[in-house]
Amino acid sequence: MASSSKRFMKLAGMTASIAGKAAKNSLKHLSSDQDKRNEARSELMKDVGLQIADTLGEMKGAVMKVGQIASQYKDVFPPEIAASLEKLQKDAPAMPYEVIKKQVERELGEPIETSFAQFETTPFAAASIGQVHKAVLPSGQRVVVKVQYPDVDKNCDSDLKQVRMALKIAGVLNMDRKLQDQIFNEIRSSLHDELDYVKEAHNLAIFADFHRDDTGLIIPKVISSHSAKRVLTLTEELGEPLSVAATWDNEIKQKIAKRLFHFSAGQLFELYRMHCDPHPGNFAFRPDGSVIAYDFGGIRSYSDAEVQLFRRFILHALRADITAMEQDLVALGIRRKDDEIIPSEFYQRWLQISLKPLSIPPYHQGEFDYGTSNVHFEVMEQLKESLKYLNQFQPSATTMMVDRTVSGQYWNLVNLGVSVDFLEDVKTYIDF
């Protein structure tokens, strides 16, 4: 990990460079027509996105995690920025074993040879804020050990502040200061939660209890004697990656798909807490259709009022009640309060696109083939058509984590290549 001063200088340099590009773009197209300005802004966003991704990709810790989170918030950042940041979702280079060994010993208070009978020096997974090693306890039990990189938590707030400044200067954050504060407080809260392994251990216990009746949904158990704030030791629960599960029969893939659906929907509507990081690396799969869920650091809790508002909005969408749906969007903080009328056809088109994957009549009947889905392309095309209403909508701190989860699970199903009908599953939570 680079020192705090070096990290600051690298991020400040990125911010200054982006400021220059934004100013140059603004002056160059001052007298251009609207179409040319939109085209120039799109090119600027691509350039800025690539620069942010390259800078953040060189740096471990919270700042890289910020980039990963940003890439999943399609409604907060322009698509060009989100697309550029997606490359940060790939595994990060591993930290040297000696650094990890010292961190484990510092956290557990004894030599690593005393804590573990075996500890593999090479991690089997490395990410932005930590890496995971296989190990064996003195009792002979096989475990995995999640180790946080040193000083990640110390740089968290300053990293986030610099990234926010860079995005603001580039004109990426098309929202008022109050909403910016809400959005970045949400991201900051999510980051701090993921950096606290004691809290994650607590989350693991809560979610394991909630899913206890589904024997095909497996959540690792915490080994408390070998866990601390920056080290988390869990029972070894192994499965195949999504790429392997995609080769199995559709009947097995349907079991997986429905488990993923109820994993997220059940948590939101019944537990009022949700695992909000559906990255494919956070799941593993078995040939009987079982799903293993990992990484319970990124959890969002919701109030009863928020959950009932989500339920009401979905119900109105399923009934195509545009008037009620628009009122819900205002309540959710997505639709700005003003007098400009948006035609119902605009909303109808979004319903046609978004409700197809759930097999909701009349938009789609029977199994939906995620393997050949073009919904994401339709969304991009519709976003272009929606530019004229851009100022009527804004990101919402309330829906941000839900959007991230829904988008992530959609892509999991696309990559799984499953053909499945979710109609009855939707009716489990929404009576329509």
Question: Is the previous residue joined to 362 through a cis bond, with omega within 30 degrees of 0?
Answer: yes
- Where do we find the tokens 């004894």? 110
Same domain membership, residue 278 and residue 188: no
| DSSP-based three-state secondary structure for 29 | coil
Which H/E stretch holds residue 229? none
Q: Provide CB contacts within 8 A for 287, sequence distance 6+.
A: 240, 248, 252
Of the candidates 159, 277, 295, 403, the residue annotated as catalytic is 277
Same domain membership, residue 160 and residue 119: no
* CA gap 166, 157 in Å, rounded: 14
Q: Of the residues 132, 164, 193, which one is the last residue of a structural domain?
A: 193
- Taking CA 324 as the corner, what is the angle to CA 318 and CA 326, rounded to the nearest 5 degrees? 95
- Rg (the chain; Cα; Å): 23
Q: Enumerate residue ranges in the chain where pLDDT < 50.
A: none
* CA gap 21, 50 in Å, rounded: 13
Give the pair of three-digit tokens for residue 424. Answer: 């009855």
pLDDT score recorded for residue 71: 58
Same domain membership, residue 29 and residue 175: yes
pLDDT digits 0-9 by tens, 342-386: 999 999 999 999 999 999 999 999 999 999 999 988 988 888 777
- Tell me the residue length of the chain: 432
Largest CA distance in the chain: 74
* CA gap 78, 294 in Å, rounded: 29
| DSSP-based three-state secondary structure for 310 | helix
Angle, in degrees to the nearest 10, between helices 344-354 and 375-385: 160
Give the pair of three-digit tokens for residue 376. Answer: 């994401």
Give the pair of three-digit tokens for residue 339. Answer: 């007098």
* CA gap 147, 103 in Å, rounded: 7
Which of the 8 DSSP states describes residue 233? E
pLDDT score recorded for residue 89: 59
Asked whether 134 and 124 are in contact (CB, 8 A), the reply is: yes
Which H/E stretch holds residue 126? strand 125-126
Q: Of the residues 205, 237, 269, which one is the last residue of a structural domain?
A: 237
Same domain membership, residue 244 and residue 231: no
Same domain membership, residue 217 and residue 178: no
* CA gap 97, 135 in Å, rounded: 13
| DSSP-based three-state secondary structure for 289 | coil
List residues bridging with 169 in a β-sheet: none
pLDDT score recorded for residue 157: 78
How would DSSP label each residue in 167-190?
A: HHHTT---S-HHHHHHHHHHHHHH
Any catalytic annotation for residue 151?
no
Same domain membership, residue 350 and residue 209: no
Same domain membership, residue 250 and residue 396: yes
Q: Provide CB contacts within 8 A for 6, sequence distance 6+.
A: none
Same domain membership, residue 135 and residue 122: yes
Same domain membership, residue 139 and residue 170: no
Total count of domains within the chain: 3
Q: Provide CB contacts within 8 A for 255, sequence distance 6+.
A: 216, 288, 289
Q: Whole domain around residue 130: which residue ranges?
A: 96-148+196-237
Same domain membership, residue 27 and residue 112: no
Same domain membership, residue 125 and residue 15: no
Asked whether 233 and 404 are in contact (CB, 8 A), the reply is: no
User: The domain spanning residue 221 has which CATH number?
Assistant: 3.30.200.20
Sequence letter at residue 49: G
Q: Where are the beta strands (DSSP E) in 321-397?
A: 368-369
Give the pair of three-digit tokens for residue 73. Answer: 């918030």
Q: How many other C-beta atoms lie within 10 A of the C-beta of residue 356?
A: 16
Using CA atoms, how far residue 332 sits from 195, 324, 396, in Å, is 28, 12, 7
* CA gap 3, 17 in Å, rounded: 21
Same domain membership, residue 176 and residue 54: yes
Sign of CA dihedral 266, 271, 272, 275: negative
Q: Of the residues 136, 169, 193, which one is the last residue of a structural domain?
A: 193
| DSSP-based three-state secondary structure for 382 | helix
Which of the 8 DSSP states describes residue 137? -
| DSSP-based three-state secondary structure for 24 | helix
